[in-house]
Amino acid sequence: MVDTIDVRDLSEEDVKKVKAYIASLRVMTPKKKKHLKFDWAGGLAHLKDKHTSVELQHESLNWR
């Protein structure tokens, strides 16, 4: 629920703050939602003949 505020009751400094806040809301743009990329998929395909997925999983622990 929004309370009604009479701006005439605010100090001059508070009116400036409210105006600055409203101005900042006007220039805000909603951030675009980023989608996940799967360009990494298949990046280790060249290793599938040499290693099993379990071996690669164990090896990945050494990469960290």
**pLDDT tens across 30-64, in order?**
777 888 888 888 887 887 788 888 888 888 898 87
Q: 34 in a domain, yes or no? A: yes
Q: 47 in a domain, yes or no? A: yes
Instruction: Decide if 50 contacts 59 (C-beta within 8 A).
Output: no
pLDDT for 49 equals 85
Q: How many folded domains does the chain comprise? A: 1
Q: 1 in a domain, yes or no? A: no
Measure the CA–CA gap between 13 and 19, rounded to whole angstroms: 10
Instruction: Decide if 51 contacts 59 (C-beta within 8 A).
Output: yes
pLDDT for 2 equals 66
Q: 25 in a domain, yes or no? A: yes
Tokens of 51: 């290693």
Q: 50 in a domain, yes or no? A: yes
19: domain range?
A: 7-63
Q: 2 in a domain, yes or no? A: no
> pTM of the entire structure?
0.39
- Residue corresponding to tokens 């997925």: 53
Q: Give the type of residue at 64.
A: R
